[in-house]
Structure 1
Amino acid sequence: MSGSTTVTAASGGFDALRGQLRDAAAAFADGPGALEDLLLGIVDDVDRAAREPLEIFPVCHHSPASATAMARRLREKQPRVVYLELCEDLAPLLTELRNCQLPVAVQAFATEVEGFPADWSPLSVVAPVTEASAEYQAIAYALDTPGVELVLVDRSADHVFQWDERAQRADDQDAHADGEEGGAEADGAALHGDAVGVEIGDLRPRFAGLEEHLLRHGRVRHWSEWWHQYVELPLGDSDHDTYRQVMLLIGSLFRRLAPGGDRMRVDEDRERYMWTRMRQHLAATGTDPADCLYVCGAFHAASRVAEFGLTGEDTFEISPRTATTWQYGLIPSSHAAIEAQFGLAGGSVSIAASVWAKNLKRTRVQPYRLAGQSGTKKTKAPRARKKIAAPAPDPGTTPAGDRLTGFLQQSPVLDQLDEAELLGWSVDIVRAARRNGYLSSTADAIAVFETSILLAGMRDRAKPTPYDFQDAAVTCIEKDAVPGRRDVRRLVEIMMGGDRTGKVGYDALPPLARDVHDRLAPLQLKLERRGVQRALLDIAGRPELQQCSDVLWMLRYLLPKGAARPIMGERRLGEKSLQESWDLALGIHQRALIELGYEGVSIEQVLEQRLRRAAYDAQVTIAGVLAAVEDATLYLGSRRLAEELGARALEVLRAERGVDGAPEVLRRVRRLLAYYRTSGAELPCWIESFVTTGYAHYCTLLPTAFTEDDATVRQVAAMLGFLFSMEGLALSLGCDRTQLELAVGQSHPEDPAKSALLWAAQTQLGTLSREELRARCAELLAHPLVVPAYPRYLSGFLHALEPVPGLAGFVVEAVSQAFGRLPDPVLLPWLPTLITTLRAEGAELAPLLIREAGRIFPGRLEELDAWVPPWRERPETPAAAGAAGRGGGRGVALLAAHPAACDAVAELLGLRNDGWASAEPVGAALLAAHPETAAAVAELLPG
């Protein structure tokens, strides 16, 4: 192994153990060889670490045995300096732990990266802290004991990613996830996101064969259960030397059986880094190593690198950090998040918390807790005692004694069955099951009790463990189905301690998060509380709540879905609600709010940065930039930012070569124009330039879009909608209508839907009359070869309502003709397509079509039989002809009686009367052209 050294241990306290292991290797392996080298090498590693003048305290992450041993050793030794395996740049945050409720995670976060691949952004490193962990005991002791210095010696967050192998880490996480059963609930497991987890003591076999062997012979399901049964419980009551040597033994075993590769290289570099930092600190401060304690994972405590120990080599060079700017803070964590991130079985951290509480009660060890720590019991400060510094042991002398031999040879201590505890568990799980919909009864409680004892006996245990009890509860209660949201396995986890979720206190929040809490204070809600809270805002009665409304709308934009959800009220351009109702869950999404504080000092600044970042993205579209302009106006009310982003939209438009986003562009430009026109201010320069540039841009692309298959009918309709709806403004700004006429004249589509769309555009331009359009549709229906494709023409007419809404009446006529004349084999398959088209692409056009149909069709059923469609000519009946004749005679008399009216009508029609003598021919012509009108007027007049 690269960088390792061979250690020849001096004869000492472990000689007897070496002899026994040598004999065992010869017996089992039929002679000396690899097994002997492995076993003796493990003892050498333990001996070497035990002889080190700087005391090494090996731990396992979130282990109650490690936490208990740490608390006991700190009270006995009372070191002046505690070296802790944790990212060195996280040290300033540890004092803020007293303002939080555990579990929480210390986090380093970076959004703008330099020196790393851009797709890695954002970078995030978290280090979870629970009360039942050795690192918290060391931190609490160092921070609350006068004269004690806490020094973090592990690589910085920047070095974590410098040495990072993302593919390797993903493989390890997948392997851990596959190897553990159970799981965390989705909301709890998501608290850490995709951050890189850093913990003290990742103690787990990296040799898959070894882990499989231990699980099979230990008769357990997963690694967490094996560790609980064969390490946690035996070491819970052990003395310091036994605990230390056993943990060193386990760390050395896993280290020697671990495969090489990038992960081992990173681990060795971490060990070189930490020993280099410790020697530098000792040299700078002159501290006696006997007054120091080095807390690290058992895997690193058995290190064999050349830099190990106070007498190790000083050849390791620490690389400089990159130019990445890191932000630091505390985020809430949970048992489920820790289990999900580090590949532990669901409920294992909660079980560890309950074991920690039992260890404290049984051993009477007084733990360390930070003064003022939220959610923990207050402890009395230990009485100061005179401390006599022990002389530093000579590296060549024998350690305190061999405790491994006795520990490995002793028979397992069989705990007596605690019937009261097991009976209480059985009753509690049945009660919890009934609350969650299970039909459980007292008989199930008895069955769980007996089955737990049975399973423990089958697994050679005198006392059922929580995992045995969990298996028994699932077997006896769950049966075939899960009636509620939680299964029995999850209910047992909750009963054993639950998914405890931490909370970051107000004083430990970044400035942005505190500012949000201050600005939402008028709502009189406890925003730090987990759960959903309802906020009612009567803005009309209390105008000061408008500021709260502004904050909530920005939080809705910035935070994940569900953090701030409006129930009543909306915010659109030019409109604000007078009353609003919100569901707030800022306590649940506290991590997301805290990470906003890493991006700026106020939510307005963060929102502006995100809008600008989205607008200047390399893959941004025109619609994306216009959306940023709209959001800047809607949430920030910043005309300056809107003009800047509008200029960016104009820049993207000029570089655009396709029409994919035309529908969205049309929708957003219309909305922005309507807002600017109604706000009373002048149109911004950027939107005027956008309209003129877009007019020329779409005129240029229109002929190609009509013929290309990649351009859909909806996109072409949106282009025409932009050209026709913006035509007035574009012409007033200097555009030429000839561009549009030439573009339409050069368009020659082959697709039926696009052909119909082209006819609609020609009708709008006046080059095709309504009668000619009606005649073309009649020809299509009369041609038997074209009839099957007629629904596709209708689809084009439906999309034509976007650019030419005046064709709504003709579209109703065309659809009615299709229903009346198309054969059923053509009509019936088309109807689902019509409905889906209107629902997906014509949601805004359907009201226009329905309103026009309501105007044309009769409103009552009894009128339908006599109703004649307006596009059909009415046959002239004899009665009508007679009425026209009678009305004509009386009409001449009316004209003679009222010459002024005749003169006015003649002038409107463009006919000039030189005198009333010539009015009679004009009136006669009018009466001949409109006999029905004359008849109707004659009927109304008496006589």
Structure 2
Amino acid sequence: MSQTFAALRGQLLDAAEAFAEGPAVLPEILEGLVSDVDHALAEPLEIFPVCHHSPASALAMGRRLRQKQPKVIYLELCEDLEPILTELRNCRLPVAVQAFASQVQGFPAAWSPLNVIAPITEASAEYQAIAYALETPGVELVLVDRSADHVFQWQPQEEPEEKEAPEEDLHGAAVGVEIGDLRPRFAELEQYLIHHGKVRHWSEWWDQFVEQPLADADYDTYRQVMALIGSLFRRLTPEGSPNLVSDENRERYMWTRIRAHLAESGLDRSECLYVCGAFHAVSRVEEAGSAPDTPDLEITPRTGTQWLYGLIPSSHSAIEAQFGLAPGSVSIAAATWEKGLKRSKLTPFRLEGQKGGRRKAAKPLPLPTPDAPVTDKLTEYLATPGAAAGLDNDELRGWCVDIVRLARRNGYLSSTADAIAIYQTSVLLANLRGRQRPTPYDFQDAAITCIEKDVVPGRRDVQHLCEILLGGDKVGQVGYEALPPLAKDVHDRLEPLGIDLQKRTISRALIDLSAQPGLAPCSRLLWRLQYLLPGHAVRTVMGSRRLGEKSVQESWDLDLGRQQRTLIELGYEGVTVEQVLEQRLRRAVRDPKATAADALAAVEDSLRLLESPRLTDDLGLRAVELLAGERTVDDAPQVLHLIRRLIAYFESPAHPDDQLPAWCQQFVTAGYAHYCTLLPTTFADEETGVRQVAAMLGFLFSMESLALSLGCERTQLELAVQQSAPQTPAKSALFWAARHQLGGLPLAELRHKCDELLANPLVVPSFPQYVSGFVHAMEPVPRLAPFVVETLSKAFARLPDPVLLPWLPNLITTLKQDAAELVPVLTREAGRTFPGQLPALDAWTAPWNRPARKVAPRSAALDRNGDPRARMLLDAHPAAALGVAELLGVAGEWQAAPAEDLDLASAASGSGPAMALLATYPESAKAAAGLIGG
């Protein structure tokens, strides 16, 4: 142990003795802090402790690089991200370096997709080190942290079991008692520092007591203070905690990689620099250190997961959320960085061609400066009161004027008096908090106090306006050259639209395919992007691309500039949009939870968006497999609607072929057999809903003619209906409708059944359920629509109010949720049944309430030959009748009927059924005569 900090160590031990009533472990902690700093400074390989996204660290890094000019920089960053760092030249900071894996191998499938990001800002020591290494000839940058694959290898592979909380956790953030030891936790220290520092949150405390004092400190002071802070965090971390174990494993990994590189390159350790977090700089694990005889960590090989690497846009708010910082703290750090550069006249390192910067590249580096002996700077730093920090008066006055101007633009009634009040309040708050000058946080509090009202007049409150004034939520951007191939392809293919896709505003694209048919490829690409990209990156305003439709004029809102991340991550899945779309459709139908409805939806999407018959056939065959393997009918309504739509498309002129695809024919036959088999079970199953059974019957009846033409037998359907035994009223109504469709239950008998139900007092309370069943029956048996209107009318007329009124909301909900497509059918049928004008309603009689008309009996000859006038017409033109008979497959000769059977006298005299009909409805006869000119 060196004697550099002997004096400081003695002072701290004396202080520990003075606080005799404090924790018994306090002397150990205080002495350990100094020992950790001494140990870190004694390492032959220079360790540069940093705080991520800290302007003080970035300023110290810039000075140290110019002074030392190392030949190798070891950086705490995932080692497999190194090749992508050169693409930072084509970006506007902040951006994030990303490792992405959509398909996992060696990890739980539920973890997919895997994603690791490392945000980079200009006001960070990491970026200064990267820019120096990439722009300085002869300098090597080596990333030594665990790979993205190892990040997830060290995660628990199984979901942790739920256990009872340990006894000490019941006390929240209270002191935890260990064996003979009393050790404070960092949460208590944080609250203590925030309270006595008179600040609102940890970010403000760090800015006031670490960032501002270290911004202009010399290198030795900066290094010793950061190492001391890192040691404090380690000493207050409970032993054996998961985070500490993970951090120690990272340190073993990084030191193992460093020693391996030193041995391979043969460089002197004095020519290298190790940049890591302050927490890792004071590591005391056995594997830490650059000595060759230090033990190494046995690094496991990577899994078979294929990782993809790229850059995505980041923002100040995203960084604050990731690191748990207060809102606006990164923007304030950026402002502190700019002020520090102006004050120190330091030229930062920047990558050549870096977008978004106003400064030029750094000048050639001078000769390196020899290092002076390390001296104790901690004692002086800890004993000296904090220097005056924060804003100067001129800047404070400027901000007060600017915030008032911003507030007025956003609807606040602010004036010059408010600017004066903000200035005075900022000074007052700084004095109350023991500060010599106001800080940006004091200014924010003063602006909110003086301007904010009970109601925010616009979209932005005063706190948001202050954040905008202090730098705002700066958002980075990835340049074209740094985009993945898919994103570049999208930009190139959309170039004919004449829109700058890098803009951060929404652009409107107008496509008129009739005037500019060359824009058709752009239209197809936009429809595919809208399907693949979530959110509002690509959104259609006008136009549609439903199955079999292609709009002539389209309008699009494009926001790819602000939604770069979604497009970039889409590029990790393939080289072109079409490839990604095909992969997603195939993956969707191969998913273990995929259903036949999912496969049919994928078929429809492939027909709408891709011109690939092979893909469509593969997806359709998968739909047949899934349907045959299903044991429930939960998705029967979706299956019915999708297959109807697909068959209508294949039979329409929009489809080039004149016949159904083979997979579609197989789906119909398989579905016919499948639903016939399950029909008796679903009728009896209480858990199967009425809508599902109605959809099954709808499939069987609507596909019956097609299925029979493809080899199915109607006997199978008849037997399935006969074997069904419904147990609920709604399914009983469906069952009767099915029997009626098959010819086993005439409409008169069905009407008689419903009348009996209404006449039975014991059944009346459940009659609404029968009505609901009949409403759903319109799906399989559309010709029952008049009967359903009749049944509903009788229910409204005859049901007592205690039964009718509670049922009406349920009926409306059922029609809205489960049978919305049937409401227009009911409406049209009701329009044909009921009078169209209110005055006619008083004299109107429902058709089912009109007395039956008595018709005179007809002779046997008339029953056999039909209407005599019709028979006379056929005898006059026998060729037409023989032609129709031949089309029906009946051959023969025409035999005229005897005159006595035609009852010519009755026809001539104007009697008979036809003339009776004309006499009953003379207006219809006159209208028909007027149409034919009679």
TM-score by length of 2: 0.89
Q: Which amino acid aligns with 2:903?
A: E
What is the deviation of 1:875? 7.4
Aligned pair 1:368/2:353, yes or no? Answer: no
Structure 1 residues 490 and 551 mapped into 2: Cα distance closer, same or farther (>3 Å)? same
Greater displacement, 555-564 / 917-926: 917-926
For 1:919 and 1:719, the matched residues in 2 are separated by: 49
Greater displacement, 435-444 / 559-568: 435-444
Q: Which amino acid aligns with 1:303?
A: S
SS in 1 for 2:350: coil
Describe the superposition over 1:353-385 as per-residue Cα deviations: whole angstroms up to 9, x where unpaired.
001001111111111111110001232432343
Partner of residue 346, structure 1: 327
Partner of residue 136, structure 1: 127
Partner of residue 692, structure 1: 669
- Contact 2:389–2:439 (Cα < 8 Å) also in 1: no
Match of 2:301 among 310, 320, 338: 320
Q: Which amino acid aligns with 1:288?
A: D
Q: Which amino acid aligns with 2:641?
A: R
Aligned pair 1:304/2:281, yes or no? Answer: no
Q: Which structure 1 segments of 5+ residues have no match?
A: 1-8, 172-178, 180-204, 394-398, 886-894
For 1:451 and 1:355, the matched residues in 2 are separated by: 22
Describe the superposition over 1:432-468 as per-residue Cα deviations: whole angstroms up to 9, x where unpaired.
2233333333333233222222221111111111112
Partner of residue 237, structure 1: 216
Q: Which structure 2 segments of 5+ residues have no match?
A: 164-171, 173-183, 858-866, 886-893
For 1:729 and 1:374, the matched residues in 2 are separated by: 64
Greater displacement, 593-602 / 626-635: 626-635
Q: Which amino acid aligns with 2:777?
A: A
Q: Which amino acid aligns with 2:261?
A: H
What is the deviation of 1:416? 8.7
- Contact 1:902–1:923 (Cα < 8 Å) also in 2: no
Greater displacement, 831-840 / 636-645: 831-840
Structure 1 residues 922 and 97 mapped into 2: Cα distance closer, same or farther (>3 Å)? farther
Aligned pair 1:600/2:574, yes or no? Answer: yes
Match of 1:900 among 854, 872, 875: 872
- Contact 1:780–1:787 (Cα < 8 Å) also in 2: yes
Aligned pair 1:759/2:736, yes or no? Answer: yes
Match of 1:287 among 260, 267, 273: 267
Structure 1 residues 871 and 361 mapped into 2: Cα distance closer, same or farther (>3 Å)? same
Q: Which amino acid aligns with 2:340?
A: N
What is the deviation of 1:274? 1.3
Partner of residue 276, structure 1: 256
For 1:33 and 1:830, the matched residues in 2 are separated by: 74
Give % identity: 63
Partner of residue 616, structure 2: 642
What is the deviation of 1:220? 1.4
Structure 1 residues 285 and 897 mapped into 2: Cα distance closer, same or farther (>3 Å)? closer
Q: Which amino acid aligns with 1:373?
A: Q
What is the deviation of 1:896? 11
For 1:770 and 1:926, the matched residues in 2 are separated by: 33
What is the deviation of 1:597? 1.1
For 2:582 and 2:537, the matched residues in 1 are separated by: 20
Partner of residue 840, structure 1: 817
Match of 2:522 among 540, 545, 548: 548
Structure 1 residues 98 and 902 mapped into 2: Cα distance closer, same or farther (>3 Å)? closer
Q: Which amino acid aligns with 1:850?
A: T
What is the deviation of 1:10? 2.7
Match of 2:313 among 318, 327, 332: 332
Partner of residue 870, structure 1: 847
Greater displacement, 494-503 / 790-799: 790-799
Structure 1 residues 60 and 583 mapped into 2: Cα distance closer, same or farther (>3 Å)? same
Partner of residue 469, structure 2: 495
What is the deviation of 1:259? 1.4
Partner of residue 54, structure 1: 45
Q: Which amino acid aligns with 2:492?
A: D
Q: Which amino acid aligns with 1:223?
A: W
Partner of residue 411, structure 1: 385
For 1:64 and 1:905, the matched residues in 2 are separated by: 103
For 2:853 and 2:105, the matched residues in 1 are separated by: 85
Aligned pair 1:703/2:677, yes or no? Answer: no
Structure 1 residues 438 and 858 mapped into 2: Cα distance closer, same or farther (>3 Å)? same
What is the deviation of 1:480? 2.5
- Contact 1:791–1:830 (Cα < 8 Å) also in 2: yes
1:147-166 paired onto structure 2 within 5 Å: 147-165=138-156
SS in 1 for 2:58: helix
Greater displacement, 110-119 / 911-920: 911-920
Match of 1:915 among 882, 888, 898: 898
Structure 1 residues 16 and 755 mapped into 2: Cα distance closer, same or farther (>3 Å)? same
Aligned pair 1:255/2:239, yes or no? Answer: no
1:605-624 paired onto structure 2 within 5 Å: 605-624=579-598
For 1:106 and 1:689, the matched residues in 2 are separated by: 49
Structure 1 residues 362 and 717 mapped into 2: Cα distance closer, same or farther (>3 Å)? same
- Contact 2:213–2:389 (Cα < 8 Å) also in 1: no
Partner of residue 933, structure 1: 917
Partner of residue 61, structure 2: 70
1:426-575 paired onto structure 2 within 5 Å: 426-575=400-549
- Contact 1:86–1:153 (Cα < 8 Å) also in 2: yes
- Contact 1:291–1:389 (Cα < 8 Å) also in 2: no
SS in 2 for 1:844: helix
Structure 1 residues 47 and 917 mapped into 2: Cα distance closer, same or farther (>3 Å)? closer
Aligned pair 1:356/2:347, yes or no? Answer: no
Partner of residue 863, structure 2: none
For 1:937 and 1:237, the matched residues in 2 are separated by: 106
Q: CA RMSD in A?
A: 2.9
Structure 1 residues 930 and 777 mapped into 2: Cα distance closer, same or farther (>3 Å)? farther
For 2:805 and 2:479, the matched residues in 1 are separated by: 65
Partner of residue 697, structure 2: 720
For 2:778 and 2:901, the matched residues in 1 are separated by: 47
- Contact 2:545–2:608 (Cα < 8 Å) also in 1: yes
Partner of residue 188, structure 1: none
For 1:315 and 1:926, the matched residues in 2 are separated by: 116
Structure 1 residues 387 and 355 mapped into 2: Cα distance closer, same or farther (>3 Å)? closer
What is the deviation of 1:921? 7.2
Partner of residue 10, structure 1: 2
Partner of residue 562, structure 2: 588
- Contact 2:105–2:305 (Cα < 8 Å) also in 1: yes
Partner of residue 204, structure 2: 225
Structure 1 residues 712 and 922 mapped into 2: Cα distance closer, same or farther (>3 Å)? farther
Describe the superposition over 1:714-744 as per-residue Cα deviations: whole angstroms up to 9, x where unpaired.
1111000000011011101111111111111
TM-score by length of 1: 0.89
What is the deviation of 1:904? 6.8
SS in 1 for 2:847: coil
Structure 1 residues 764 and 36 mapped into 2: Cα distance closer, same or farther (>3 Å)? same
Partner of residue 360, structure 2: 379
Partner of residue 670, structure 1: 644
What is the deviation of 1:836? 2.1
Greater displacement, 295-304 / 540-549: 540-549
- Contact 2:538–2:559 (Cα < 8 Å) also in 1: yes
- Contact 2:390–2:439 (Cα < 8 Å) also in 1: no
What is the deviation of 1:853? 1.9
Describe the superposition over 1:786-821 as per-residue Cα deviations: whole angstroms up to 9, x where unpaired.
223222221111111111111111112222222333
SS in 2 for 1:287: coil
- Contact 2:67–2:368 (Cα < 8 Å) also in 1: no
- Contact 1:371–1:378 (Cα < 8 Å) also in 2: no
Describe the superposition over 1:489-547 as per-residue Cα deviations: whole angstroms up to 9, x where unpaired.
22211211100000000000000000011111111111122232111111121112111
What is the deviation of 1:31? 11
Q: Which amino acid aligns with 1:50?
A: L
SS in 2 for 1:744: helix
Describe the superposition over 1:235-284 as per-residue Cα deviations: whole angstroms up to 9, x where unpaired.
11111111111111111111111112221111111111111211211111
For 1:47 and 1:78, the matched residues in 2 are separated by: 24
